[in-house]
Structure 1
Amino acid sequence: MGSVPMHQYHPPMRTPLALKNDESRDTWLFWLTATVILFAGLGLRDPWPADEPRFALVARQMVESGQWLFPMRGDELYPDKPPLFMWLQAAFYAVTGNLRIAFLLPSLLASLGTLWLVRDLGRRLWSAQAGHYAAWALLLALQFTWQSKRAQIDPTVTFFITLSVYSLLRHLLRGPDWRFWSLGWFAAGLGVITKGVGVVALLVLLPAAWAQWRGWSGIATMRSAKFWLGPVALLLPLALWLLPMLLAVNASDDPALRAYADNILLKQTAKRYADPWHHHQPAWYFIQVALTQWLPTVAVLPWMLRPWRDALRARDARILLPLAWVLLVIVFFSLSSGKREVYIMPALPMLCLAMGPYLHDVLAKAWPRRIAFGLALALSALLAIAGAMVVWGEPGFERTLEEARGVAHGADPLGAMLLAIGAFGLAAVAWLRARRGVAALVWVLAGLWVGVSLIGYPLLNDASSARGLMQATGARIGPDAELGLVGWKEQNLLMADRPAKTFGFLRPFDEQLRDARAWQAQAPATRWLQVEATALDDCIDRSRAINLGISNRREWWLVPAAAMCASGQPQVR
């Protein structure tokens, strides 16, 4: 293994007891801060679009139906993603019985796990200080914390990919350790059945093989019969899912199940990468994402280039492997024309790991502290000014927000929240000053995340989750009525106050509406339809329907049977 570069900061000699006390204090401070930031607001909101209601709905249906093998969205199969993330949500829901808590737990626990892996690997490869700084760099990165507090798949797949790279590096840089070698491949398999991209973790083997070929020291061998333990371990989680699923498909005459298997195995993997049908972005898109969404961590990159260069010149594989892997991941996803910012999120933990051994020295310099202080000051001032403009400024903004988002209480409470967070940040900046600019930035970001979670979640929840829309619908039709949904979104079905009838999700709106009319006609006195505005046709008398307003940027109508024309067919114009 290559040695740590000579210019790396070496702390002054201290007694073992003092070092142990400092490390214990730093550990408790970090985990307390991480837990408060990530778990703030848990239980204060329901799933919000775009993806959260979909996964939560599938998970709830698994528990309620007892059918976990084939994910269902309403009355249709959901083939867009492998099931592991939804299984985790369903398991937490079955244990807690509280969907508001269960739907976020996989992301939150996975994010804590990712932080632990980065911290532990930094400690093992360099020092406790290196792991400590690497974990802080990851926690403060905007994309990591933002996604960690959302119930999307990406924090969970990031954990499995990080676990895979962590385990492979334990073998390659601290080994040989064939148990961790096998765990690395197994975790990559778990990543595959989470989102399909878990195999990108194995790209770390390419720079390892190159370094061995070039004669770098400190890299454990991969030339052994035990190498094949890895591919076998990779196949195990795939087999645990695919074998029961494919056996069930082959034993069934249902064409929908065969279509599900074809979709999940082909369209949503190889075809989605090679010939994507949405999210088209230019080749440099991920560079833009890294330079913005990985702030403030990437702000220190200019000071990392020299120590990284020196480490690579010294043939330090501890820097080569994670850095090369980060670049390979970015290149891999850049080669596809379909791109979303979350695709490269799994690369962020290893970038922070490579920064860890040098961050103490970098942050001791004046300019990085000044930049951190400037970011803290600018963010605090921006939040305070924005909040003041909302509260005391142009009322047209409030009307726009209420019309577009359906916020029940207007924008003033949100403005007051921004003003309060900004004022808190300005107070922290004034207290800590430029000399402690990094600490000021930590306080400002922590105040932002905690403030938005504890204040913003309750304010925005009814409008963002469709809870307010569905409560209004339930109040209008009464407790004994039946409800059918046309042109619905997942949050409508999830937040309905009663079992709701659906007529397909991906089917064309006119086909949904046709079947909904037939269903309503069977019991016209007690059956109502909630219809998205673009699904209304000329057979519906809007003067007899009820306009429910805007929710999630869509207009919704409540249609009784009396609002349907007698023929049940749209009029010809």
Structure 2
Amino acid sequence: MKSPWFPLLLALVALSLLAGLGMRQPSPPDEPRFVLAARQMVETGQWLLPHRGSELYAEKPPTFMWIQAATYKLVGDWNLAFLLPSLLSALLTLWLTWDLARRLWNRQVARYAVLGLFVIVQFGLMAKRAQIDMVLVGMTTLSLWALLRHLLLGPDWKLLALGAFAAGLGTVTKGVGFLPLLVLLPWLAWRWRHPAAAGPGRSWNWWLILPLFVAGAAVWLAPLGIALLRNPDPHLQGYAHELLFKQTGTRYANAWHHHKPAWYYLQVMATLWLPGSLLLPWLLPAWWRRLRRADPRYVLLLGWALLVLLFFSASPGKREVYILPMLPALAVAAAPLLAGLLRRTGVRRVLLLYVLLLAAATLAIGYGALHGDGWAQQHAARRAIDAWVLPRVGAWLLGFGIAALALVAWLRLRRAGLAVVLASVLLWAMYGVGLMPALDPYSSASAVMDKVRQRIGDAELGMVAWREQNLLQTHPQALDFGFKRPVAEQWEQAARWVAAAPSHRWLFVRDTAMTPCADRAQVIDIGSANRNNWQLLPGTALDTACVARSHGGVADVAPADADEED
């Protein structure tokens, strides 16, 4: 790759990741709950313990929500603030990948590393979403970058300290942030086989790892510990116990959902890691040859990635985002080989075929959406998407497909690698500026909540069996009666609230949770969002005495788990 073109490609990469910023609102599975908690931090000034409505949110540490709330304080717009942490983390990860490859090899290899990481589908997708995982990847990559520089290019004990601190900070962002420290295991194995090799040896400075890791984790654990010592509130004690034990150790060793087979992540790599996974038939033998030569760069990069894969594969609970931290290390390990691979006709054919299939798929889906075929209409109906939106979505997909075909015709087989990069630029620009804004009213639930506001006017709203995106879209924020609390108990509290002013209070309820104590003739079907049907109940249509006698009177409808996708 010629260096004069590289700055232009980097600018296009950054612009494609930036495209669409501020043009949509939070949408499931994870975004609304994090923004809901961050918004409540800003509004109440209570930052230590995140809340989901009226309940403590104990599934994740508050670090990511702190970042979102702090970003909002800087920019003053939630539609910008909620996505900025992921975007900045993605850009940081790309820079760290470039810098590490440059230091371990050279600038040409670094260019292949950063572009190779960018074109991976999962990386771009997570960079465009406000989930914890992209911020976690930024922290784990920072830690690994510092540790590898110390182990392979050092000794540099300041970098060791930085790596340990970043791992601790990552751990209180999401529990697996300690994973970069596993790189010490392949390094120790390599040092045992090569005791005379240059690099950090025995020194008391190794003891920096533990206190600096603890210092990183103390960003959150220290104020939590102080709060626990000062406040005997059982709710606070329960919050700490669930987060520190159930949501970490129990979740890993005895997961209660997302059960997948041991080979699940091979499927993730084959699909979400396209087009990089297409090169594995050439990369794996090349990596093996370098491992046999005991090149420490490959031993540490690939050894660490394998340990991460084994770590997550050993747990019965698996999600595709868990192995995302591996990608930067694998991009660095693949980069020295890419220049040679791209000279192979077979590799270029595979990559060009990938762009062609991507174009063909978007053309087919776009044509169906534009002309309203049966599949597109059925999918839109399931998501309660208005028919007039389909042509808009179809036009964007058709535009991308045509542009991708033009890239193939222009660059042809000789520049298949460049075609992949530019197709990825177009894909994420189209996704950010076209698709997500078009679908936003439906994915964010703002469309159905707009109907609620129009129907109830200035009356008060309470929510039963709700989802985070519904509560987030209420202005001013509606009253809730718990999220994980059994629905029957929510109805008891809702009835007491309604009884105080029945003519001025309404309830927003999932249809499957509607109480038999309601006058069905007055129940209003207000719309669907995120594959749930929602109803409005006027306060005057609820027999509050019936609710009190029956203690809620409904079978419990458990809300979706905090990490379950819509």
Per the TM alignment, residue 39 of structure 1 is displaced from its structure 2 partner at its CA by 0.9
Per the TM alignment, residue 334 of structure 1 is displaced from its structure 2 partner at its CA by 0.5
Query: Match for 2:22 among 19, 23, 43?
Result: 43
TM-score, with structure 1 as normaliser: 0.93
Structure 2 residue 298 is the aligned partner of structure 1 residue 354: no
Q: Distance in 1 between matches of 2:468 and 2:244?
A: 24
Query: Match for 1:374 among 345, 350, 353?
Result: 353
Contact 1:370 1:435 in 2 (8 A): no
Q: Distance in 2 between matches of 1:359 and 1:200?
A: 27
The one-letter amino acid of 1:508's match is P
Per the TM alignment, residue 443 of structure 1 is displaced from its structure 2 partner at its CA by 2.3
Q: Distance in 2 between matches of 1:41 and 1:252?
A: 44
Query: Match for 1:67 among 39, 46, 52?
Result: 46
Q: Distance in 2 between matches of 1:219 and 1:520?
A: 74
Q: Distance in 2 between matches of 1:122 and 1:277?
A: 39
Deviations 1:311-353 (A, max 9, x none): 2233210111101111110001111111111111101110110
Contact 1:471 1:497 in 2 (8 A): no
Q: Which residue does the alignment assign to 1:501?
A: 479
Q: Which residue does the alignment assign to 1:551?
A: 529
Query: Match for 1:322 among 301, 305, 310?
Result: 301
Contact 2:368 2:376 in 1 (8 A): no
Per the TM alignment, residue 488 of structure 1 is displaced from its structure 2 partner at its CA by 0.9
Per the TM alignment, residue 186 of structure 1 is displaced from its structure 2 partner at its CA by 0.7
Q: Distance in 2 between matches of 1:476 and 1:218?
A: 74
For the residue of structure 1 that corresponds to 2:517, the secondary structure is coil
The alpha-carbon distance between structure 1 residues 27 and 439, as it changes in their structure 2 partners (threshold 3 A), is closer
Structure 2 residue 362 is the aligned partner of structure 1 residue 365: no
Q: Which residue does the alignment assign to 2:129?
A: 150
Contact 1:212 1:219 in 2 (8 A): no
Deviations 1:147-205 (A, max 9, x none): 11100000111111111111111001110100101111111001101001011111100
For the residue of structure 2 that corresponds to 1:525, the secondary structure is helix
Query: Which is further off, 407-416 or 530-539?
Result: 407-416
For the residue of structure 2 that corresponds to 1:318, the secondary structure is helix
Per the TM alignment, residue 400 of structure 1 is displaced from its structure 2 partner at its CA by 2.1
Contact 1:319 1:354 in 2 (8 A): yes
Q: Distance in 2 between matches of 1:222 and 1:149?
A: 42
The one-letter amino acid of 1:553's match is R
The one-letter amino acid of 1:505's match is F
The one-letter amino acid of 2:359's match is S
Once the two structures are superposed, the pairs formed by residues 310-459 of structure 1 within 5 Å of their partners are 310-392=289-371, 394=373, 396-408=374-386, 409-459=388-438
The one-letter amino acid of 1:171's match is H
Per the TM alignment, residue 365 of structure 1 is displaced from its structure 2 partner at its CA by 1.3
For the residue of structure 2 that corresponds to 1:568, the secondary structure is helix
For the residue of structure 2 that corresponds to 1:485, the secondary structure is strand
Contact 2:258 2:317 in 1 (8 A): yes
Query: Match for 2:520 among 542, 556, 564?
Result: 542
The alpha-carbon distance between structure 1 residues 166 and 136, as it changes in their structure 2 partners (threshold 3 A), is same
Q: Distance in 1 between matches of 2:156 and 2:5?
A: 30
For the residue of structure 2 that corresponds to 1:411, the secondary structure is helix
The one-letter amino acid of 1:526's match is H
Deviations 1:190-238 (A, max 9, x none): 1101001011111100010000001166552242100011111100022
Contact 1:219 1:317 in 2 (8 A): no
The one-letter amino acid of 1:40's match is A
Structure 2 residue 278 is the aligned partner of structure 1 residue 299: yes
Q: Which residue does the alignment assign to 1:527?
A: 505
Structure 2 residue 145 is the aligned partner of structure 1 residue 163: no
Aligned-pair RMSD on alpha carbons? 1.7
Q: Distance in 1 between matches of 2:476 and 2:201?
A: 57
Per the TM alignment, residue 85 of structure 1 is displaced from its structure 2 partner at its CA by 0.8
For the residue of structure 2 that corresponds to 1:567, the secondary structure is helix
Q: Distance in 2 between matches of 1:566 and 1:159?
A: 51
Query: Which is further off, 408-417 or 342-351?
Result: 408-417
Deviations 1:472-513 (A, max 9, x none): 1111111x2111111111111111122211101101111112
Per the TM alignment, residue 304 of structure 1 is displaced from its structure 2 partner at its CA by 2.0
Q: Which residue does the alignment assign to 2:564?
A: none
Q: Distance in 2 between matches of 1:393 and 1:229?
A: 62
For the residue of structure 2 that corresponds to 1:484, the secondary structure is strand
Per the TM alignment, residue 390 of structure 1 is displaced from its structure 2 partner at its CA by 2.5
Q: Distance in 1 between matches of 2:460 and 2:440?
A: 25
Contact 1:216 1:317 in 2 (8 A): no
For the residue of structure 2 that corresponds to 1:250, the secondary structure is helix
Per the TM alignment, residue 27 of structure 1 is displaced from its structure 2 partner at its CA by 4.3
Once the two structures are superposed, the pairs formed by residues 114-193 of structure 1 within 5 Å of their partners are 114-193=93-172
Query: Which is further off, 137-146 or 236-245?
Result: 236-245
For the residue of structure 1 that corresponds to 2:261, the secondary structure is coil
For the residue of structure 2 that corresponds to 1:543, the secondary structure is helix
Q: Distance in 2 between matches of 1:210 and 1:499?
A: 56
Structure 2 residue 192 is the aligned partner of structure 1 residue 213: yes
Query: Which is further off, 158-167 or 439-448?
Result: 439-448
Q: Distance in 1 between matches of 2:195 and 2:341?
A: 27
Q: Distance in 2 between matches of 1:106 and 1:233?
A: 24
Contact 2:499 2:544 in 1 (8 A): no
Query: Which is further off, 170-179 or 497-506?
Result: 497-506
Aligned length: 550
Per the TM alignment, residue 429 of structure 1 is displaced from its structure 2 partner at its CA by 1.4
Q: Distance in 2 between matches of 1:219 and 1:131?
A: 24
Per the TM alignment, residue 309 of structure 1 is displaced from its structure 2 partner at its CA by 3.0
Q: Which residue does the alignment assign to 2:440?
A: 461
The alpha-carbon distance between structure 1 residues 217 and 440, as it changes in their structure 2 partners (threshold 3 A), is farther
Deviations 1:452-486 (A, max 9, x none): 211112211111001111111111111x2111111
Per the TM alignment, residue 126 of structure 1 is displaced from its structure 2 partner at its CA by 0.5
Q: Distance in 1 between matches of 2:46 and 2:237?
A: 17
Percent of paired sites with the same residue: 46
The one-letter amino acid of 2:513's match is A
Contact 2:510 2:535 in 1 (8 A): yes
Structure 2 residue 36 is the aligned partner of structure 1 residue 84: no
Contact 1:216 1:315 in 2 (8 A): no
Q: Distance in 1 between matches of 2:400 and 2:460?
A: 44
The alpha-carbon distance between structure 1 residues 222 and 155, as it changes in their structure 2 partners (threshold 3 A), is farther
List gaps (5 residues or longer) in structure 1.
1-10, 12-21
The one-letter amino acid of 2:361's match is L
The one-letter amino acid of 2:163's match is G
Q: Distance in 1 between matches of 2:197 and 2:521?
A: 77
Per the TM alignment, residue 410 of structure 1 is displaced from its structure 2 partner at its CA by 4.4
